[in-house]
Amino acid sequence: MRYSRYNYLRNSEKYGALLFNTRTKFFISLSSELFSKITELSILKDFEVDTLDLSPEILVQLINGKVFVGQNEDDDYYELKKFLRYKQAFAQNHLGIVLVPTFSCNFRCPYCYEDNLPKTTITEEVLDAVYSFIKKKGQNCIDLCWHGGEPLIAFDKIASFLNRIHNDKSLSLRSHSMVTNAFLLDEYKCKFLNDCNLQKIQITVDGNKEYHNKSRIHKSGKPTYDTIMQNIENVFQYMPNCQVILRVNLHSQNKDTFPALYKELKERWGNKNYSINVAFVNDVNNSCKVACLADKGKISFARSLYETYGIKDIDISTQPQIGGCTASCTNSYVIGPSGEIYKCWVDVGKKERIVSNVFDGKLSNYILPSYTVGADMFSDAKCKDCVFMPICDGGCIVRRYNQKHYNVPYDPCPINEDDFLSLMEINYMKEKVTK
Ligand code: SF4
Ligand code: SF4
């Protein structure tokens, strides 16, 4: 057997030796004696378990937790993850459509990457072509997400398209979601979207009311926070089955406002159907509106929230995952208002990133294959041996592509080793550890 490369073994100043296996989530607190023995074993290429000076109970735990593995087991696991990722990437049994009905927006957020886009809105003719494109694909199971610009500006087009889908009994929406600033989300729209079974709605706030009103600015200059909060309450009232994902954009200037916002939301909404998704915006991920990326600073921030304010529910997942996003799935398309097709929301509006169109469906360049198999973690040798490989999605595909093709600096690793110890310590505090 050998010591798995997916073991994370560290001596915490506060809690002593901790061992976590990222493949199995096996997590154990070790005596200093056991820590020394395992550290010695970790540098051996091969050992016989029968000869180890360990108690049978500990040995069983370490083998079941995949701390000790067969010679090829880690490589096999890597191949399995790669296989599952590519199986998902090439799956044709469902169709992912992100539909951008308009580039227009009623906000003027200073950081918005879509600010310079033409104010194009989809026409009925393009909607016809989108509908035909979907029909030609032949899948009746669709994941549909509305995106913008601000999609609700084109609510009439959304309604027209959804009526069409609804009336076609050969099509069904497996999932139905929307990314919106919620400023126009009134009772009428909520009721309509509820009838269309909208399941998830992602709405962004930029910190507490005071900060948000300076940051997410309506184009008329008026404040937006109160209207957004009121409209979220419309969702709770008129869309009882729809989950609100409240994305909170944080950065160094507003992160201290988060505890007050969190407290306000908890007091205001209690156990209503919403979750908070903290996103750390920086020069790497501020344009990924869907918070695909965990950020390095998130773990230490979550820890300080936990220690200082007792806030426990900031999601910092250590779940093994296959990863992948719209950019890496060949049957997922981001469709712009002129019927042009992209592979990622951050590419929207960039002519050079258009991969096809809904009218003829022909590929216009090599971006699709490059995103799918050329800019992922399996095309990066360092990921194979990385301790975080099982729980990491490999970072952003578009940014990996930009780095490879245009030398744009990008560090794809969403986790670093020291931060991970912090995460282990949080989990220890939450008593998710075998002692
Ligand atoms: S490629 Fe990057 S920005 Fe685009 S959806 Fe994937 S993680 Fe998000
Ligand atoms: S992206 Fe970084 S953290 Fe993730 S598996 Fe690759 S090397 Fe490890």
Q: What is the pLDDT of residues 32-42, one digit of tens each?
A: 999 999 999 99
Do 106 and 58 share a structural domain? no
Ligand closest to CA 392: 2
Cα–Cα distance for residue pair 416/296, rounded to 1 Å: 7
**Smallest CA separation from ligand 2 atom 2, residue:** 413
121 in Cβ contact with 337 (< 8 Å): yes
Decide if 22 is inside a domain.
Answer: yes
Do 137 and 62 share a structural domain? no
Peptide bond into 323 cis (omega under 30): no
Ligand closest to CA 386: 2
Do 169 and 121 share a structural domain? yes
**Smallest CA separation from ligand 1 atom 4, residue:** 344
Buried b (16+ CB within 10 A) or exposed e, 388-405: bbbbbbbbbbbbbbbbee
User: Is any atom of ligand 2 closer than 6 Å to the C-beta of 415?
Assistant: yes
Q: Report residue 114's pLDDT band, with 50, 70 and 90 as the boundaries.
A: low
Which residue spans within 261-410 are E strands per DSSP?
A: 274-280, 332-335, 340-342, 356-357
2-3/332-335 β-pairing: unpaired
Decide if 364 is inside a domain.
Answer: no
Do 152 and 113 share a structural domain? yes
Decide if 423 is inside a domain.
Answer: no
Decide if 153 is inside a domain.
Answer: yes
- Which candidate, 278, 290, 296, 393, places its Cα nearest to that of 346? 290
Q: Name the amino acid, one letter, at 48.
A: E
* SS3 labels along 218-229: ECCCCCCHHHHH
Do 185 and 149 share a structural domain? yes
> Alpha carbon 229 to chain centroid distance?
23
Would you state the pLDDT for residue 113?
65
DSSP of 212-256, one letter per residue?
Answer: HHHHS-BTTS---HHHHHHHHHHHHHH-TTPEEEEEEEE-TTTGG
Do 248 and 121 share a structural domain? yes
Do 274 and 126 share a structural domain? yes
Q: What is the pLDDT of residues 253-286, one digit of tens each?
A: 888 889 999 999 999 999 899 999 888 765 444 4
340-342/332-335 β-pairing: antiparallel
Residue 8 gets which letter from DSSP?
Answer: E
Percent of the chain with pLDDT over 90: 69
| Cβ count near 247 (within 10 Å) | 20
Do 235 and 141 share a structural domain? yes
Q: Which domain holds residue 97?
A: 91-309
Decide if 40 is inside a domain.
Answer: yes
Cα of 195 from ligand 1 centre, angstroms: 30
Do 29 and 151 share a structural domain? no
Atom of ligand 2 nearest to the CA of 412: 1
Tally the residues of the chain.
Answer: 435
309, 325, 358: which is the final residue of a domain? 309
Q: Name the amino acid, one letter, at 55.
A: S
Both tokens of 372, joined, read 């799918």
Do 153 and 98 share a structural domain? yes
Do 270 and 188 share a structural domain? yes
In this predicted structure, the answer to whether residue 433 has a pLDDT above a threshold of 90 is no
Q: What is the pLDDT of residues 129-167, one digit of tens each?
A: 999 999 999 888 899 999 989 999 999 999 999 999 999
Cα–Cα distance for residue pair 254/270, rounded to 1 Å: 23
Q: What is the mean pLDDT of the chain?
A: 90
268 in Cβ contact with 244 (< 8 Å): no
Tokens 């799956």, residue located: 91
247, 275, 309: which is the final residue of a domain? 309
139: left (phi over 0), alpha (psi -120 to 50) or beta: beta
Cα–Cα distance for residue pair 204/185, rounded to 1 Å: 13
User: Is any atom of ligand 2 closer than 6 Å to the C-beta of 386?
Assistant: yes
Both tokens of 28, joined, read 């154990």
Atom of ligand 2 nearest to the CA of 416: 3
Decide if 416 is inside a domain.
Answer: no
Angle at 94 between CA 90 and CA 98, to 5 degrees: 95
71, 101, 132: which is the final residue of a domain? 71
Would you state the pLDDT for residue 288?
47
Q: What are phi and psi of 349, to 5 degrees?
A: 90, -10
| Cβ count near 350 (within 10 Å) | 12
Do 100 and 134 share a structural domain? yes
Q: What's the Cα-to-Cα distance from 391 to each of 32, 382, 386, rounded to whole Å?
A: 27, 15, 10
In this predicted structure, the answer to whether residue 19 has a pLDDT above a threshold of 50 is yes
Decide if 76 is inside a domain.
Answer: no
Sign of CA dihedral 329, 332, 336, 339: positive
User: Is any atom of ligand 2 closer than 6 Å to the C-beta of 334?
Assistant: no
User: Is any atom of ligand 2 closer than 6 Å to the C-beta of 395?
Assistant: yes
**Smallest CA separation from ligand 2 atom 7, residue:** 383
Domain count, the chain: 2
| Cβ count near 57 (within 10 Å) | 8
Q: What is the pLDDT of residues 348-383, one digit of tens each?
A: 999 999 999 999 999 999 999 999 999 999 999 999
Buried b (16+ CB within 10 A) or exposed e, 270-284: eeeebebbbbbbeeb
Ranking 141-155, 204-218, 412-426 by mean pLDDT, the lowest is 412-426
CATH number at residue 282: 3.20.20.70
User: Is any atom of ligand 2 closer than 6 Å to the C-beta of 323?
Assistant: no
Decide if 243 is inside a domain.
Answer: yes
